[in-house]
Chains A and B, each alone.
Chain A
Amino acid sequence: MTDTNISEKVSPILDVEKIRQDFPVLSKTIHGKPLIYLDNGATTQKPWTVINRVKDFDSDEYGTVRRGAYKLCEDSTKYYEETRQKVAGLLGTPNKNEIIFTSGTTQSINLVAHSFSRRFINEGDEIIISNIEHHANTVPWQIVCQERGAILKVIPVSDSGELIMEEYEKLLSDKTRIVSVNHVSNALGTVNPVKEITAKAHAVGAKVLIDGAQSTPHLKINVKDLDCDFYTFSGHKMYGPSGIGGLYGRMELLEEMPPYVTGGDMIMQVTLEKTTYAKPPAKFEAGTPPISQVVGLGAAIDYITGIGLDKICDYELELLEYGTEVLSQVPGLRIIGNAKDKASIISFYHDSVHPHDIVTLMDQEGIELRGGHHCAQPTMIRFGVPATARASMSFYNKKEELDALAEAMKKAVKMFEG
């Protein structure tokens, strides 16, 4: 490779080499090859600031939250609530009490599905999801429908992986109670027009949940601008610890919804005859939360906002474009999902090399990909593939790494086709 080629691959948007030094794992080797981590859609790696913040907190400052009047508890509670404020800022709500900590997107959607439905969904009512949802945004609604006698409707998707909006409009009616769709599809990378989806749902009086598991690490979010009623995210997909995530909910809905998980911390007063509940968010945060993880999440939010989500988004789109170009040059490789508006996820399929063989072969080259149905089996069925291999990029990835992936794929195809 000549110097000219290298300089062409340096982005003017971000100093990626400098950023990479913030992530200790990125200097490791896998099977003797430098690690090329391209499974960011599943989980992201952690920068030193997150690792050290959790370590320091656990070493020196750890205490329970909300229930003690001593120093460790007061400090822990302060950090815990500071992270809530940071999440509110990240998602664009001025009211931090609209942020509920959960274990992640899966629990956030389950919370809404079960709590919202007990208050607002009755027999014959309708719930709308799409054909490109994660199982976490499919199964809870199927259960709600079974339990409440409601009907699940599904927005179809075009061959390029975009929701067919005319069909969506036909599904909406005065029976629609909630529309629950992802902002970014984890299986295809499609960015859905969630603002438009929300406006149309509101026009018929339905509420809207947006699964933000894949969008919060990549896009600038403003729930007030989107005007959605619920928005979910997972900390471990945005450079924070696993086991922590959250839910934004519009306050008037959170106030009306019954508790989901019950027990300590979510009460106002308990007698043996009757319990009154705390106000949101405490009403939905029963039990001792993952305190260190919340503190780590705060550090992760500081880290990504320090780089700037606009820059992150711009650079990752550059990676998407480059990755799409080099992978398209692999003979026989088909990219599944070619929406006009995409995040930095490339799902692909090859007739000669099954996705699981791709994952094993790439792993031997130090390249970590995901292969499988991505917890989105209805999406796989729609596109007529049993599974796909998926490269999901982060701002710490480099174009050279995508070159390496394309070269390794060419080698794998040659090996399998002979």
Chain B
Amino acid sequence: MAYSDELYQQVIIEHNKKPRNFFDMEDSTHNCHGYNPLCGDDYEIYLKIDDDNIIQGVSFNGSGCAISKASASLMTTFLKGKSVDESRIVFEQFHKMVLGEFDPDTSENVLGKLKLFKGVQNFPSRIKCASLCWHTMVGAVDKNETVSTE
């Protein structure tokens, strides 16, 4: 297996080609703009959070590389139905995993299929691509307007 196959797994390629929940949500309760000034990845993340703090809807729109787009796409499919508190835990584990500080193969975790981004840790320049949407999601929950990775 070529080294890059670890990064560009089939699921990532497929989500890049056909991103899920890829639209501007008109009736969102929370949204945030995420931007990586170094490489230009640029997304808006939308959340619909109900009174019980459950994420009822999540979508995104914008442009960027395959890693950032697939990460956002998988995030939207993963977070629907989760509580805001659960989402923060997923974010923390995901972030530590791509930084290489948390190994989902040896530690108990809630990452599920998001584990396929584990290979990102071997590509330091791409860690921000994978984590941008997650930072932006937390920014939306915290009612920030913009999140920058720099």
Chain A nearest CB: distance from B67 CB in Å?
Answer: 7
B3 CB contacts on chain A under 8 angstroms: 31, 364
B126 contacts A360, C-beta separation under 8 Å: yes
Q: Which of B28-51 contact A (CB under 8 A)?
A: 38-42
- Chain A residues near B42: list those with CB within 8 A: 386
User: Is the beta-carbon distance between B16 and A360 smaller than 8 angstroms?
Assistant: no
Tell me whether B64 is interfacial, beta carbon within 8 Å.
yes
Chain A residues with Cβ under 8 A from B40's Cβ? Answer: 372-373, 380, 386-387
* A372 and B38 form a contact (CB under 8 A): yes
On chain A, the number of residues with a Cβ less than 8 Å from chain B's Cβ atoms is: 19
Query: Is A361 among interface residues, defined by CB-CB distance under 8 A?
Result: yes
Contact A418 B65 (CB under 8 A): no
B66 contacts partner chain A, Cβ-Cβ < 8 Å: yes
Query: Do the beta carbons of A354 and B65 come within 8 Å of each other?
Result: yes
The verdict on B4 contacting chain A, using a C-beta distance below 8 Å, is: yes
Q: Assess whether A416 is interfacial by the CB under 8 Å rule.
A: yes
B4 near A418 with CB under 8 A, answer no
**How many angstroms from the CA of A418 to the CA of B18 in the assembled complex?**
12
Contact, CB under 8 Å: A416 / B4: no
Could you tell me the distance in whole angstroms from the C-beta of A66 to the nearest C-beta in chain B?
39
List of B residues within 8 angstroms of A417 by Cβ = 17
Please tell me if B84 contacts chain A, counting CB pairs below 8 Å: no
B17 touches A416 (CB 8 A): yes
Number of A-B contacts (CB under 8 A): 48
Complex Cα spacing A353 to B66, Å: 8
**Digit string of A291-320 for contact with B (CB within 8 Å is 1, else 0)?**
000000000000000000000000000000
The docked-state distance in angstroms from the alpha carbon of A364 to that of B67 is: 16
* Cross-chain contact A357 with B17 (CB below 8 angstroms): no
* Residues of chain B with a CB closer than 8 A to A416's CB: 13, 16-17, 66
Once A373-B40, A387-B39 are accepted as A-B contacts, the answer to whether A354 and B66 lie under 8 Å apart by CB is: yes
Question: A356 at the A/B interface (Cβ < 8 Å)?
Answer: yes
Closest beta carbon of chain B to A186's beta carbon, Å: 16
Additional A-B contacts beyond A356-B41, A371-B39, A416-B17 (16; CB < 8 A): A31-B3, A353-B66, A354-B65, A354-B66, A356-B39, A356-B64, A356-B67, A356-B126, A357-B66, A360-B4, A360-B7, A364-B2, A386-B40, A387-B39, A416-B16, A417-B17
29 A-B residue pairs with Cβ-Cβ distance under 8 Å, sorted by A, are A354-B64, A356-B39, A356-B41, A356-B64, A356-B126, A357-B8, A357-B66, A357-B67, A360-B4, A360-B7, A360-B123, A360-B125, A360-B126, A361-B4, A364-B2, A364-B3, A371-B39, A372-B38, A372-B40, A380-B40, A386-B40, A386-B42, A387-B40, A415-B8, A416-B13, A416-B17, A416-B66, A417-B17, A418-B17
